[in-house]
Structure 1
């Protein structure tokens, strides 16, 4: 009699392990990243590559052909003066947002540092603008800051006189007002980061400062603030780089006016692209790309070095 071959439990176990290893090797986790990389490549890397290419052409809505023209777009933009004016406005706007957003966020974090029920509720209230659309925030403030808006109405009520301040129509202070609006929208995020930094400060360090006779102000500036260096780095870098690419808040409030005093570079690019001058707009976006790179690395490097020193 011939008996059929029967695998032992050990052989079955080894075969199962080999099969599971084979299945595990074919289903590598890296394959799940392919859809994300495909979307990133189509909607980010490919447009960035074409951005470098079209900046050296005469691409526009008034021509059927696209020809290579070298650095003519860069020279014409520099000689025109509008690009330099937009760059100046962008840098001032970014500096104002970086300073105000961090001051507001740090002030709120210190104010609501204690874990009470009222403070937790206040944190949620001040974080709500972060979740709102920047365009919606801009349009709300545009309505509030009109000469006949609610802000002037409140001032008229308390002063007993008719107040009609053109908050968004002054060529001197409108950029500061728009920077305040953008800082108001994002100060909740800065507040959360600073709160996280404050919570990581060891209690024994604060107790030692108190025993040495340091008051609240001295404790904050000599102990707490130096230990918040990583939070300052993150908040200031994100505020500065985000405002360099600012568009939506400025577009909703002023549209670049009055007299182009709030025309940041992205709004200028948007307008030039709307005129059909696609190559010039692409060149400006390339200039903005290099501007962000030139500013990002030194500023972040300086702040990181400051962390190590402190």
Structure 2
């Protein structure tokens, strides 16, 4: 009877161990998560961590007037909703966001239809209309503030055209100033939906349009019955981004009106900026938390409604 004995385990030498470690390091470096890790670190440090602290500080009495920070529970929320300023700023912000979403998409769709043909002139025009998108929003706001003041360029042009002196304060009315600022915001960003709508229009098969023309459909019928329904995903993206993005508006309004006149254009972000500047840090973080929750609560039904519209069309 013979017995077999298992071979004794061999120990790796220094060279083999270094090679194994190098292979493991190489495999880790080539893993897809290794390339995404720096981006996740930056996202965590500069977005998730401040957002977490924003939730925490909303329930404290943090301010520049106290050396220590104490927990106060829901007192900040109670005071903000009781004095009415938060509700007023939210109403102004929602009105501004709706105006921007309508105007920005209207301007972008009209430009896409006008510049759809791939000609040299249209290519140059597309670049010109996209330039405001990459410009500083503060710079755009200050330029329009200079144009729209009573002794600005717009009134000078109107005075020359009409032959009478025009001194309209375009940014000084509590009735229409919010609309004027929304037009400026839509003008600055209309180049982006223009390109997205144009990309959607170019994906429509020419055979479908040719069949519609053979059936006697005019230009308007082709657009409303065929082309517009087929670019529904582009409409969803543009409306959602314009509406939710303008809820966080600040720079253009701050540069043109700074929330005036009579706080008629005071968006919630401007209100937060002023509150933080007064040293009331906890109240400012509470308002930013409310804005965050409003945007999240608005995003899901808006995107869901637009998605259902895509399915219907």
| Structures share fold, TM-score greater than 0.5 | yes
The corresponding residue for 2:11 is none
Indicate the larger mover: 282-291 or 300-309: 300-309
Quote the offset at 1:309 in angstroms. 1.3
Partner residue of 1:270? 273
Q: Which runs of 4+ in 1 moved over 3 A?
A: 18-24
Secondary structure of the structure 2 residue equivalent to 1:170: coil
User: What's the counterpart of residue 4 of structure 1?
Assistant: none
Partner of residue 227 from structure 1, selected from 220, 230, 252: 230
Pair 1:308-2:311 in alignment? yes
Aligned to 1:3: none
Question: Matches of 2:57 and 2:74 in 1, distance apart?
Answer: 11
* CA drift at 1:36: 1.8
How many residues end up aligned between the 2 structures?
Answer: 294
The residue aligned with 2:126 is: 123
Q: Which residue does the alignment assign to 1:25?
A: 27
- Alignment partner of 1:164 is 2:184: no
Shifted more, 69-78 versus 28-37: the winner is 28-37
For 2:9, the equivalent position in structure 1 comes to none
C-alpha contact (below 8 Å) 2:140/2:252 kept by paired residues = yes
Corresponding residue to 1:248 among 246, 251, 267: 251
1:111-150 equivalences under 5 Å are 111-150=114-153
Superposed, 1:1-310 pairs within 5 Å as 22=24, 24-27=26-29, 28-310=31-313
Q: What is the root-mean-square deviation in Å for CA atoms of aligned residues? A: 1.5
TM (norm. structure 1) is 0.92
Distance 1:281 1:174 in 2: 26
Which structure 1 segments of 5+ residues have no match? 1-17
Do the aligned partners of 2:28 and 2:34 also contact (CA within 8 Å) in 1? no
TM value normalised by structure 2: 0.92
C-alpha distance in structure 1 between counterparts of 2:263 and 2:77, whole Å: 21
Distance 1:20 1:56, change over 3 A: closer
Taking a change above 3 Å as real, the CA distance of residues 202 and 73 of structure 1, as seen in their structure-2 partners, is same
